[in-house]
Chains A and B, each alone.
Chain A
Amino acid sequence: MIVAELKEIDEIRKMVDRYSSILVVGCDSCVAECAVGGARETQLLASALKLSYLKDRDEKVITEACLDRQCVDDFIDGIAEQVPEHDVILSLGCGAGVQALARVYTDKPIIPALNTLFIGETVMRGVWTENCLGCGQCKLGYFGAVCPVARCSKKLMNGPCGGSRGGRCEIDPETPCGWDLIIKRLEAIGELDRLSEYVPPVNWSTSHSGGPRRVIREDQKP
C-alpha cells in the first residue's frame, strides 16, 4: 500500500486560506490503512480546520467527504455534486489521488494535505515500513521475498556489505539489515542455493529514473 503522512496544519492553512469554502476529501484505501487519510482522519482534519478558523474568527464553509478510492474515476464521481459548491478540494489522498481529482475536476484547485512517502506494509499498529521501490523488475523470487533494492540501504544485489552488526544496518541501527533478513529467510525455506546465482545490477530505466511510467493493456481497455 501507499504510505503517507499528514502535512503540518500551518502548511495546509497557508495553501487553503485564500478560499472561502473547502471540500476535505479522504480516501478509504491505502491512506486509511496507514491512519492518515481515511474517513476518521478526514473528519479529524475537517474539524481541526473548523477550529483553526473559528479561533481566527474567519468564517469558512468546510465540508467533508470520503471516497473509497481517490485514484479511480468511478469512485471520484462520488463527490461530483459537492464539488461545484466549493472553491477548493483539500485531498487526503496520495499523490496519485490528488492528480486523479485534478484530471477529473479540471476547473477546481486541488490541494494535497498529505506527503506521500513510500510503498510499504503495516508491521504493527502504528508502524509502517518501506519494502518496495517499484523498480519495475521484481526479483523477490531470488531473495526469499525480501527486497534488497528497498530494504538494503546500499541496494546490494549479491550479498551483504559486511558492515551490519547484530542484524542491524550500519547506516541506521534502527533498520534491520536487508541481507540478514534475506539469508535468514532463505535458510528457513531451505533455498540458500538461490544466492549462488549472479544477479546483475538493477536496470534503473524501468524505475522512475526512466521517466514517468505507464501500463497499457488492450484487453482491459473499453
Chain B
Amino acid sequence: MHRQNNKIVVFHCRNLRLFQDGERKEFSMAWPGLSLVSIPCSGKIEAHFLLKTLASGAQGVLVLACAEQACQYLEGSMRSRKRVEYARHWLEKLGIAPDRIEFVRLWPVSQQALEAHLEEFVLKLESLGALGTPEKV
C-alpha cells in the first residue's frame, strides 16, 4: 500500500456516509497528508475551489460524488462533474497534468472503494512528480 506523504485533498459528498463515528480520524491517520473535506453535496464544488486547493500546496484533489441518479439534490452530482471537467481544462491550458484533479462516483458507505481510488491516485501523483517541477501533460 502507498502511504507516502503526498498532500491530497478529498472533497466528498456528506451523503456518501463514508465514515462512521471515529473512523474519519482513523482513516486520515492511515493516509498522511490526506485532508478530507465533507461538503453538503458534491454540486457545491466549484472550479475555483479546486484550483485554489492546488495553488495552496496540494499535489492532487479528488472529488467524490454520488451516482448521478442517487444525488439527493438531483443535479448536484451532474454539476460537480462538469465543474471538475472545467477545472481540468484549466490545468491543461496551464500546462499542468489535468489528472491532478479527479472526479469519482461512489456508492454510499464504500470506504474500500475510496481506498482503492486513493491507492491509484497516489501512484499517479508520484509518477507526475511534485507540482512545480516539469511534468508530462
Instruction: List residues of chain A with CB under 8 Å of any chain B CB.
Output: 8-9, 40-41, 43-44, 46-48, 50-52, 54-55, 57
Question: Can you list 10 residue pairs at the A/B interface with Cβ under 8 Å?
Answer: A8-B93, A44-B52, A47-B55, A50-B55, A51-B55, A54-B55, A55-B95, A55-B96, A55-B131, A55-B132
Please pick, from B46, B90, B91, B93, the residue contacting A40 in the complex, using a CB distance under 8 A. B46
Q: What is the CA–CA distance of A55 and B47 in the complex, to the nearest angstrom? A: 19
- Is the CB–CB distance between B48 and A54 below 8 Å? no
Q: Which residues of A contact B46 (CB under 8 A)?
A: 40
Q: What is the CA–CA distance of A8 and B94 in the complex, to the nearest angstrom? A: 10
B71 contacts the other chain (CB 8 A): no
Q: Which residues of B contact A46 (CB under 8 A)?
A: 55
Q: Which residues of A contact B90 (CB under 8 A)?
A: 44, 48
Q: Which residues of A contact B55 (CB under 8 A)?
A: 46-48, 50-51, 54
Q: Which residues of B contact A47 (CB under 8 A)?
A: 48, 51-52, 54-55
Q: What is the CA–CA distance of A54 and B93 in the complex, to the nearest angstrom? A: 14
Residue of B nearest to A42 (CB): B48
Q: Which residues of A contact B94 (CB under 8 A)?
A: 9, 48, 51-52, 55
The binding surface of chain B is classed by DSSP as helix
Residue of A nearest to B131 (CB): A54
Q: Which residues of A contact B96 (CB under 8 A)?
A: 51, 55
Given A9-B93, A51-B94, decide whether A44 and B54 contact each other with a Cβ distance below 8 A: no
Nearest Cβ in chain B — how far from A7, in angstroms? 12
* Closest 9 pairs between A and B when the two form their complex, measured CB to CB: A47-B51, A44-B48, A50-B55, A43-B48, A47-B55, A47-B52, A54-B132, A52-B94, A51-B55
**Which residues of chain B from 37 to 51 have a CB within 8 Å of any chain A CB?**
46-48, 51
Q: Which residues of A contact B51 (CB under 8 A)?
A: 43-44, 47-48, 51
7 more CB-based (< 8 A) A-B contacts, given A44-B47, A52-B94: A9-B94, A40-B46, A40-B48, A44-B52, A51-B131, A52-B95, A54-B132
Q: What is the CA–CA distance of A70 and B96 in the complex, to the nearest angstrom? A: 32
Q: What is the CA–CA distance of A167 and B46 in the complex, to the nearest angstrom? A: 37
**Which residues of chain B from 75 to 92 have a CB within 8 Å of any chain A CB?**
90-91
Q: What is the CA–CA distance of A50 and B58 in the complex, to the nearest angstrom? A: 13
Q: What is the CA–CA distance of A55 and B94 in the complex, to the nearest angstrom? A: 8
Q: What is the CA–CA distance of A55 and B132 in the complex, to the nearest angstrom? A: 4
Q: Which residues of A contact B131 (CB under 8 A)?
A: 51, 54-55
- Is the CB–CB distance between A41 and B132 below 8 Å? no
Q: What is the CA–CA distance of A50 and B46 in the complex, to the nearest angstrom? A: 18
Nearest Cβ in chain A — how far from B103, in angstroms? 17
**Which residues of chain B from 84 to 128 have a CB within 8 Å of any chain A CB?**
90-91, 93-96
Nearest Cβ in chain A — how far from B135, in angstroms? 8
Q: What is the CA–CA distance of A57 and B93 in the complex, to the nearest angstrom? A: 17
Nearest Cβ in chain A — how far from B78, in angstroms? 13
